[in-house]
Amino acid sequence: MPGFELWSDKERRELQDVLENGILMRYGFDGMRKGIWKSKELEDAICKTFGCTYAQLTSSGTSALTTALTALGIGYSDEVILPCFTFVASFEAVISVGAVPVLVDIDDTLTLNPEAVRKAITPKTKCVIPVHMCGSMADMNALVSICKEYNLLLLEDACQSIGASYKGKFLGTIGDAGTFSFDPVKTITCGEGGAVLTNKGDIHIKCDGYSDHGHDHKGGADRGADQHPFIGYNYRISELHAAVGLAQIKRLDSFLAIQKKNHTALKNILSQVPEISFRRIPDPAGDSCTFLSWFLPTEEAAMAVVNEMKAQGILAGNFYWYDNNWHYIRKWDHLKNAISVNHLSPSLKEQIIHHANNDFSVSDAIMSRCVSTAISLLWTDEQIKEKGEKMVAIIKKVISGQTIPA
């Protein structure tokens, strides 16, 4: 997820505009800012690039999720279904609005298993969050139809999949709302930042106000004259961050093209090993190719490959999520025990603990065999060849010394 890898004069120039006029806030200061509105420009560019009607920038992907959930009306005691393989931000946002995260199994797409979603639906379910992990997508046709059938809201967490699409529509624009993260390791970055995308005017108005203390932004140049139709929060992005994002969004197509080229080259090399299988991609043409995710036949083989890659100094950039503290339920003891710095309501605490301690053995069987290789924009063809061949040698060595089930 490489926006930071190709830092250039383009980012420096956009930043310079803001540094020169000295207006770092996205709202107000109309006279002094000499027509420079980087955040508004970036929101327009997001709508144009991804084909959505509205975009609301926020301070992070996490605050974009919180803002979107709030705007969708999710709150006290509502259940929100999401996958057990994600980043902690997804369930943090659900808890932050007072709702209950109901984690369910993934499948070989590494995203929500539609059947697991169906089984988890109760009268309290309000929303489903597919998390489009590692640059690729959930089975959106299946999830859209479940949400229609049960009258549930659909919020796409597309934080890791900017520029990926499903059957011709960009991820983040298919559900009632979608979120992007522009943190330092995402496909395009602002340094820190996020966005809520939606085609629904009422949801957008709520995102716009909620992320800025409830301002209705109708007071013109006088922010003090704005009304506050509801209680909000400060999840604003700054003009400095938006300036970086504006340069990066203009470069997105070129980033994606390099990513796809490098992904294909590495996949061709790894495909030489018949025992390796690859993540199922519901719409291969829409993969943004930030990662190549592959499976070993067994957990033992995966662990041995990871250990050998570490021993040979080539593990960097390869992620064994099963052992990672931040992305998979297995290591989320804080969630399983609902440990919070502030007081959660007793019923919320009880529900969090209940759902986080479900049986995730189906997902364990997938995640324990999965390695995701991050695709760099900086690799040369020679480096891909060298990297791929080293990986193949390690995998073959491990497999030849293991008993692989038929």
Ligand X SMILES: Cc1ncc(COP(=O)(O)O)c(C=O)c1O
What amino acid positions are annotated as catalytic residues? 186
Least gap, CB of 87 to ligand X (angstroms): 4
Phi, psi of 277 (to 5 degrees): -120, 165
Least gap, CB of 58 to ligand X (angstroms): 9
Taking each helix axis from N to C end, the angle separating 38-50 and 9-21, rounded to the nearest 10 degrees, works out to: 140
Least gap, CB of 116 to ligand X (angstroms): 18
Nearest to 150 by CA among 113, 119, 106: 119
**Cα 212 from Cα 55, distance rounded (Å):** 14
86 contributes a contact to ligand X by CB under 6 A: yes
Using CB under 6 A, which residues numbered 218 to 247 contact ligand X? none
Phi, psi of 137 (to 5 degrees): -115, 160
Per the CB < 8 A criterion, the answer to whether 134 and 106 are in contact is: no
Identify which of residues 291 and 394 has a Cβ nearer to ligand X in the complex.
291
Using CB under 6 A, which residues numbered 172 to 191 contact ligand X? 181, 183
Identify which of residues 62 and 376 has a Cβ nearer to ligand X in the complex.
62
Instruction: List the one residue from 90, 113, 125, 318 that touches ligand X (CB under 6 A).
Output: 90
87 contributes a contact to ligand X by CB under 6 A: yes
Per the CB < 8 A criterion, the answer to whether 205 and 232 are in contact is: no
**Cα 79 from Cα 58, distance rounded (Å):** 24
Nearest to 342 by CA among 98, 164, 108: 98
| Binding flags for ligand X, 129-158, as an x/- string (CB under 6 A) | --x-------------------------x-
Instruction: List the one residue from 70, 113, 160, 376 that touches ligand X (CB under 6 A).
Output: 160
Identify which of residues 153 and 190 has a Cβ nearer to ligand X in the complex.
190
Closest residue to bound ligand X by CB:
61
Identify which of residues 240 and 265 has a Cβ nearer to ligand X in the complex.
240
348 contributes a contact to ligand X by CB under 6 A: no
Residue 379 vs residues 2, 260, 278: alpha-carbon distances, Å: 11, 12, 21
Q: Look at the chain and count its residues.
A: 406
β-pairing, 318-319 vs 370-374, is antiparallel
Least gap, CB of 64 to ligand X (angstroms): 7
Instruction: List the one residue from 38, 39, 55, 60 that touches ligand X (CB under 6 A).
Output: 60
Identify which of residues 116 and 131 has a Cβ nearer to ligand X in the complex.
131
Least gap, CB of 280 to ligand X (angstroms): 19
Residue that the structure tokens 């490959």 belong to: 305
Nearest to 371 by CA among 333, 311, 312, 316: 316
Number of residues this chain uses to bind ligand X (CB under 6 A)? 14
Least gap, CB of 326 to ligand X (angstroms): 8
E strand or H helix at 202: helix 201-210
Residue 25 vs residues 1, 40, 213, 238, 375: alpha-carbon distances, Å: 28, 11, 14, 5, 35
**Cα 127 from Cα 99, distance rounded (Å):** 10
Least gap, CB of 272 to ligand X (angstroms): 31
Strands (E) located in 281-330: 291-295, 318-319
Identify which of residues 183 and 226 has a Cβ nearer to ligand X in the complex.
183
368 contributes a contact to ligand X by CB under 6 A: no
82 contributes a contact to ligand X by CB under 6 A: no
- What does the binding site for ligand X look like in residue numbers (CB under 6 A)? 60-62, 86-87, 89-90, 131, 157, 159-160, 181, 183, 194
